[in-house]
Structure 1
Amino acid sequence: MDKNKLTRNILLGLLFGALLGLILPYFSQDVFNWLNQYLLDPAGTVFLRLIMMVVVPLVFFSLVVGISDLGSPKQLGRMGIQTVIFFLATSAISLTIGIIAAQIVQPGSPGLLGDGIAEDYEVADSVPIMDTLVNIIPNNPIESMANMEMLQIISFAIFVGLAMAMLGKKVETVKVFFVQANDIMMKIVTFVMAFAPIGAFALIASALGEAGWEAVGSLLSYFLTVTGVLIFHGFIVYGLIVYFLGKMSPVKFFKGFAPAMTMAFSLSSSNAVLPLSMKSAQENLGVSKQVSGFVQPLGATINMDGTGIMQAVATVFIAQVYGVDLTITQMLIIVLTATLASIGTAGVPGVGMIMLAMVLTSVGLPPDAIGLIIGIDRLLDMMRTAVNITGDAVLAVIVDRNEKRRGEISA
């Protein structure tokens, strides 16, 4: 399905679902309850199950492929190491900002699900931080996959990817299998997203119909919180970084990269806009082809700051809706899980929501809760994609400056 057509259909599904959920109960609660029981809730459940179906295999295969493509530590070299460190650092920063903003704004309070939800839902007891770090290494990777122990799955995938990178040509056949398996998972994601307009319609209608008009304020607060953090990170944080580390005027940077940012907003895909991103960086920002050709394609794979912001705010929002107070350890797990999972995550529409289900699982929150926000996620997806590719261009400017200063590439 055409991306623009998909976006239009999801937005229409969101609009009609919201109208149905807010208006129908006022005329007949019995009719809405029947419709919710036999149509809306089943359709929403099917969509959520489709998402959950691909979480574990998508994370595992994409992470193995992403790590193996980086090469061994010796092969990465100076440019590769600073690229990976920068992306992981900015991902952690974006997630931290998102968590802090959500804790301040409290978009999920008093909550969409009513006052009694805290009594109905109990999150697992918090695990001490050292135990959490130790438990990252799985006893049984297969059992970890079956139980959706995401940090353990991620750590095992990293080991497999590193081993494949070091063995190189000896495991070419195995790597082809992982690449093709990852392609299969991404094709399934495409299938799932084709069902997204119906899923968005059913989920938002069911959520609003059960919660009433009070839910509108909470969803709007969530939307504005994510938007505000995306704008702050995209313009303020990146602007300061490109000024101090890249020695470039933020005005010049954003003016030169504006075409790519606009296209990313339209396409909601880092990979789809990559040719224009590289063209803008090379022709408008003066980045060399060598640096642009290395940093920006790698960034489209492992740099997901905008997606991380959504995951952080959404996780805190959902915790607030369920009356769960996240501990410091759980907040650290959110940062760690989302940062590590960003490696290898394909830059295509819809993947961010699947990654959110993984993050929720890692801190003991119900992944089904993404139904509360799936309806409005498409608009946020457009904005966070623009932030994602902007971070790639910022690093390209910084690496290019450093390499020219060392004389490794011509100015």
Structure 2
Amino acid sequence: MEVKLANRVLSLTPSTTLAITAKAKELKEQGVDVIGLGAGEPDFNTPQHILDAAVQSMEQGHTKYTPSAGLPALKKVIISKFKQDQNIHYNMNEIIVGNGAKHVLYTLFQVLLNEGDEVIIPIPYWVSYPEQVKLAGGVPVYVEGLESNSFKITPEQLADTITDKTRAIIINSPSNPTGVIYSEEELSELGKICLEHDILIVSDEIYEKLIYGENKHVSIAQLSPELREQTIIVNGVSKSHSMTGWRIGYAAGNKEIIEAMTNLASHSTSNPTTTAQYASIAAYNGPQEPVAVMRQAFEERLEIIYSKLTAIPGFTCVKPQGAFYLYPNVKQAAKLTGYEDVDAFVEALLVEAKVAVIPGSGFGTPDNIRLSYATSLDQLEQAVARIHQFVESKQA
């Protein structure tokens, strides 16, 4: 039989992060001592009170379908979270719970975009943004956040990129892959332009609980009533509560958009996993000390590893303010070690130094690599030492 795939999937690029992580796991299973720094998930288990709540929900018979937009009890908890954390009020019909923040974003673009609609995506970007836009018939329009500006785009860049086809912009703060945060002033300036041109703001805030030093998370939706109406916030429990495998994310915003997303979900996924929804209620209602402990551990790792990483010849790095990634520019290191580009350098790190990192080409910046410090400090120190030794041994 001749297999003919739909055109919409033929142009898709496989997830770089998942591919590297899978390759590292494969080598480990073969007995190779590989240190993987590719995973985008905390290395902590889900807190015990959340596990207990999940078991209890099953024992109580909560194993059936729920409403497509999520359990009312969970939506109420999410509404309380927004009120407490950002002082934003949402109604029940302005919240949808989905199967992870990734699928929530996918559903959002499916209901938002018509063929040829443009979505502005700042570079560097999370690998799935462009693919999800393309799957919805949209056109990704890239704006480069310069490294000299901590990878953030400026209001002038945004204004110059807008066309009559621009439908939305994605803002990811704290950022994957850079870990940088947009300040309140920066968000306000970008927001003014979005309001002026009637552009929807998709605000991905999945890393909001992982903030370091004196930095703070600000949602663009909290800056004014007008921006609240112009913004769809996407968030979830995956990173904040170490619940990546539970697959619970959510969106908050315009009720018409949320209703359309709910209708689509009713025909695609029926509802988010019931047990995971009860676990998520416990995540927000229960003790938050595990979240604080995890955040502190990440910050301590960052402070130790950052100086070691930037001591490697040819490595420069904007210091992250949140999330759990380092995003160094290694173009000079690749050149020093005789590789034609960073992708080749990354492959050599995996094969020879036995360290798996993600090439920046998957995020739109081919001179960088992404390293996750969501692993033990011992493993991190070993990995950076291996990279350092590899670079020094390869220099001409």
TM range (shorter): under 0.3
Structure having the larger proportion of residues in strand: 2
Superposition TM-score, scaled by structure 2 size? 0.27
Relative contact order (alpha carbons < 8 A, sep ≥ 6): 1 or 2 greater? Answer: 1
